[in-house]
Amino acid sequence: MIQLRIAKRFGQGQRAFRLHVDFSLASEPQFAILFGASGSGKTLTLHCLAGLTKPDTGFLVVDDRVLFDSQHKICLPARARQIGYMFQDYALFPHLTVLQNVCYSQSHFFPTSIAKRERERCMELLQQLAIAHLEKRLPHELSGGQRQRVALARALYAKPKLLLLDEPFSALDPLLRGQLRHELKSILRQLELPTVIITHDPDDVDCFSGQIVLYAKGQARVIHDYAAKRAAHSTTTQCLLTLLADDIQSIDKPARSH
Amino acid sequence: MELSSIILPLELSLRVAGLATLFSFLFAMLLAFLLARKSGPIPAVIDALCTLPLVLPPTVIGYYLIIVLGRRGILGHALSELGINIIFSLKGAVIAATLVIFPLIYKSARAALEQVDQRLENAARTLGASELRVFLTISLPLASKGIIAGLILAFARGMGEFGATLMVAGNIPGKTQTLSLAIYAAFQAGDDATATLLVIITSFLCIFLLLTAEIILKLSAYLRKTK
């Protein structure tokens, strides 16, 4: 489903951050989880996938479609990639109503004018997500959970081929998190939409049980036998911590020998 | 004192400032769109050039305009062949004012546009929007308060334009004599009553405009807080 090999460098000298990731994800299972500490390059990877940041070198292929290839000078703009992106704090357009937010990817240029057909399709989607009654509200009038659904609806309305979720639950009340996690999972299951999820919450890893990509200091590796490794530990947190510690050691070793 | 000696300069000032604000606005928006969040030497040079009218004496701007647009000027010669004369006309006054107020509009627009949350613009991009659509439907509406406040300031400054206008458009009553020129003319002629009245009108107009700009800015700050 996703083949990815990218390098991106920010800053100079001691303070430089270098992202260097090379992995591929299968189309089954549906979910892939990028797990790791903040600042390890997870969001940057999603930005590169979505076309919001241009990698220095490498390539990106999603479903046999080349999105980026530095050798052949291919770089599709974000608008042409058909990748849905749900931002950490949802990034709803504050000056537009829920309906106008969700319909933003429509054919009309101005979001305030919505064709009847688009409106009907949008209302159907809002009903599916049980937020149809919020149609005319502005984002600041919504609760955290409602905002998340509007953001999801907005991303889904554009009919993406791949969905990226950047810490989908971190902006929510902890008590709401558990419930919304299972709801989101069942919605995405129904849609059969391949989804990449960023998180540093072990509960998310448990819930979305899919392919795990471990991030540490700008590097990443896919954990192929996660289920077996998980079984060897009593809790998910312990298992992930052990795996991460291995990674950090292996990254630091060659650095020390310099 | 004749009523026309008050009304005519007032009307001319409003017309010149209005047109200059409109043209400056359109040009500033075009430039802001093209240079949005770009870094490097070319945008930096253009940025500096766009600020130049703010620091140069208006007479210097007037002089440049005469060189370019005068009858023997580079552009002016070609235009006068076409029967268009800019020097000593209202067009000249509008062009002079446009140039002088451009930095006010451009700078405040750039500042307001840079305040817009980049994630919102990125969200629009992932939803299939072109750069122009992102600019017109996301960035511009969200920066509108700051831009409008800049427009009002620029309009007020345009009404008071003196130096560049005098050099390019002259001081022809009823044709190019704006408020500030009329005040100078009345004062020179010893017509203190007219001068005083024009000064009072100008002052009140500017105070009104500044208050409006202030209220718009306060209102937007307040609205942002309640969100």
Q: What is the pLDDT of residues A124-134, one digit of tens each?
A: 999 988 899 99
Q: Give the pLDDT mean for A15-31.
A: 88
Confidence of residue A71 (pLDDT cuts 50, 70, 90): very high
Residue B22 C-alpha, separation from nearest chain A C-alpha, in angstroms: 22
**Residue A64 per-residue DSSP state:** T
Please tell me if residue B57 touches chain A, with a CB cutoff of 8 Å: no
pLDDT score for B225: 59
pLDDT score for A252: 67
Q: How far apart are CA B179 and CA B182, in angstroms?
A: 5
Assign A85 to helix, strand or coil: strand
**Residue B170 per-residue DSSP state:** -
Please tell me if residue B225 touches chain A, with a CB cutoff of 8 Å: no
Confidence of residue A228 (pLDDT cuts 50, 70, 90): confident
The DSSP bridge pattern shows strands A17-25 and A162-166 to be unpaired
Cβ of B216: how many Cβ atoms within 10 Å? Answer: 17
Q: How far apart are CA A238 and CA A240, in angstroms?
A: 6
Q: Which residue of A has its CA nearest to B133?
A: A109
Whether B38 contacts B32, CB under 8 Å: no
Kindly report whether the peptide bond that precedes residue A29 is cis, defined as omega within 30 degrees of 0.
yes
Distance of CA A45 to the CA centre of its chain: 9
For residue A95, give the nearest of B128, B130, B142 by CB distance: B142
Q: Give the pLDDT of chain B (227 residues) as one tens digit per residue.
A: 678 888 999 999 999 999 999 999 999 999 999 988 777 888 889 888 888 998 999 999 999 999 998 888 888 888 888 888 888 899 999 999 999 999 999 999 999 999 999 999 999 999 999 999 999 999 999 999 889 989 999 999 999 889 899 999 988 888 889 999 999 999 999 999 999 999 999 999 999 988 988 888 788 777 665 55
User: What homologous superfamily does CATH list for B4-226?
Assistant: MetI-like (1.10.3720.10)
Mutate to test the interface with B, among A48, A95, A118 (most CBs of B within 10 A): A95
CA neighbor of B148 nearest in space, from B48, B219, B43, B204: B219
Whether A51 contacts A67, CB under 8 Å: yes
Domain positions in chain B:
4-226
pLDDT score for B71: 82
Tokens of B185: 């003319």
Percent of chain A with pLDDT over 70: 97
Q: Give the pLDDT mean for A230-244.
A: 84
Assign B22 to helix, strand or coil: helix
Please answer yes or no on whether A109 and B137 come within 8 Å at the CB atom: yes
Q: Is the pLDDT of residue A35 over 70?
A: yes
Q: How far apart are CA B31 and CA B120, in angstroms?
A: 21
Percent of chain A with pLDDT over 90: 54
Q: Is the pLDDT of residue A173 over 90?
A: no
Q: How far apart are CA A150 and CA B186, in angstroms?
A: 64
Assign A104 to helix, strand or coil: helix
Q: Is the pLDDT of residue A257 over 50?
A: no
Answering whether pTM is above 0.80, one says yes
Q: How far apart are CA A198 and CA A177, in angstroms?
A: 15
Mutate to test the interface with B, among A79, A114, A152, A166 (most CBs of B within 10 A): A79
Whether A170 contacts A42, CB under 8 Å: no
Residue A220's φ and ψ, nearest 5 degrees, are: -145, 150
Please answer yes or no on whether A93 and B120 come within 8 Å at the CB atom: yes
Please answer yes or no on whether A79 and B129 come within 8 Å at the CB atom: yes
Residue B37 C-alpha, separation from nearest chain A C-alpha, in angstroms: 13
pLDDT score for B73: 83
- What ipTM does this complex have? 0.89
C-alpha torsion B198→B200→B204→B210, nearest 10:
80
Q: Which residue of A has its CA nearest to B129?
A: A79
